[in-house]
Amino acid sequence: MVGRLNESLKDEIQVIKVGGSILRSMHDFDYTARLIVDYARTSRVIVVVSAMKGTTSELLDIVLNKKDATELVEIGEKYASILDVIGTNEGLEDLARLMKEGEELLKLIKSRTYDPQSTDSLLSLGERMSSVVMREYIRRLGLAAVSLSGGEAGIITDSRFGNANPLIKESLYQIRKTILPLIANDVIVVIAGFTGRTPDGRITTMGRGSSDLTATLIGAALRVSRIRLFTNSKGILTADPKLVRSPQVLRRVNIKEADVMAMFRVKNFHPLTFKPLVAYKGEVIIGPPSRFVEGTIIDRAISPPPLKVITMSDGQIVLIGHGVRLYLQKILKVTKPRNFALNDYYVTLTPRSEENIHDILRSLHSIIVEEMGVPVHGR
């Protein structure tokens, strides 16, 4: 049993987002719940959860008739089996209610040509089920917890179902109004990522990868000291492993650099992930669910190295970092591009042919890692 928070630390709040890539089994829920409770010993905690790995894709395949409707039952049974291990009636009843809702939504979807509103409600089931299961695992460890959908937590969006945009001002107000009274009473709030609601209450989803956006919206609204984005990697890498060999983990990244990385979908960030953090004074930590791996810290400081990430976007090579202007001549000498476009925090390069793209990527990555000394864990 974990007692009430240390009174001297009650003003510290942090958001912990648990990504779907690390939610695969009962053991994952158990491990992350214990880690969350450990953090809750010294601060107030809000948790954002994704659907278990692959669940949203499975739900979408059901909608698109790529998978049979029986797959929906299997998804529900997977969550129920994880919850059944700890024997909680309330949690199982909540899952049964969500499954019944899903079955009704699927009937509605199949009876129409296209129903984006019902589709969003169905696609939100994975995150909502995850929030119920995580809530129950936290309760089992002795702390009070409630589960909310993104909309119930206060995330208000437009009505672009499937790729809804959060209404930032309205969301920040509603989040504070909803969550502050709960955490004031030492309740851990578990929120279904990816989800929001329209001003008139209809469920929306904000696009793939938007659970991180859920976490940053919550963090910005509550002015938390720290936002932790738990993932299955050690942090932000200098490149996609599919593009170059041995990419390295970046220790620190500036918030503006991170915003550009999201714009180009580095690490599959949602493009709006860091937009709510324009005035944020805390730090974002990206890494595995562990107290022993530092991960990548995102804050407002300008940190080395000047060039941080190389990626590809629409056939163009993109180099991101606050030093792109300073190192432009060296970059152009290595790449000899057909043309380029320079911005404060990135440069896009159009290669002369597709044949030498991999050579260019390797050369640019060598600049980042070897010549500019990327700070790497263990060095």
Tokens representing residue 24 in the block: 């695969």
Q: Are 254 and 301 in contact (CB under 8 A)?
A: yes
Average pLDDT over the chain, rounded to an integer: 91
Which long-range CB contacts under 8 A does 292-298 form with residues at least 24 apart? 293/234, 293/377, 294/235, 294/251, 294/377, 295/234, 295/235, 295/249, 296/235, 296/236, 296/249, 296/250, 296/251, 296/252, 296/253, 297/251, 297/252, 297/253, 298/252, 298/253, 298/254, 298/255, 298/258, 298/274
Q: Which of 154, 211, 168, 253 is nearest to 15 (CA)?
A: 211
pLDDT digit string, tens, across residues 62-82: 998 888 889 999 999 999 999
Residue 370: Cβ within 10 Å count: 9
Q: What pLDDT was estimated at residue 371?
A: 57
> Is 376 a residue whose pLDDT tops 50?
no
Average pLDDT value for residue range 327-345: 93
Banded pLDDT at 342 (limits 50, 70, 90): very high
Average pLDDT value for residue range 306-330: 94
Q: H helices then E strands: how many in the chain?
A: 12, 14
Average pLDDT value for residue range 94-99: 96
Banded pLDDT at 218 (limits 50, 70, 90): very high
> Is 3 a residue whose pLDDT tops 80?
no
Average pLDDT value for residue range 221-246: 93
pTM to 2 decimal places: 0.92
CATH classification for the domain delimited by 7-232, as one of 3.30.390.50, 3.10.180.10, 3.40.1160.10, 1.10.3720.10: 3.40.1160.10
> Is 374 a residue whose pLDDT tops 60?
no
Average pLDDT value for residue range 164-189: 96
> Is 317 a residue whose pLDDT tops 70?
yes
Q: What percent of the chain has pLDDT over 90?
A: 81
Q: What percent of the chain has pLDDT over 70?
A: 95
Q: Which of 66, 84, 65 is nearest to 76 (CA)?
A: 84
Q: Where are the domains of the chain?
A: 7-232, 309-371
Q: What pLDDT was estimated at residue 264?
A: 96
Element (H, E) at 263: helix 255-263
> Is 151 a residue whose pLDDT tops 90?
yes
> Is 10 a residue whose pLDDT tops 90?
no
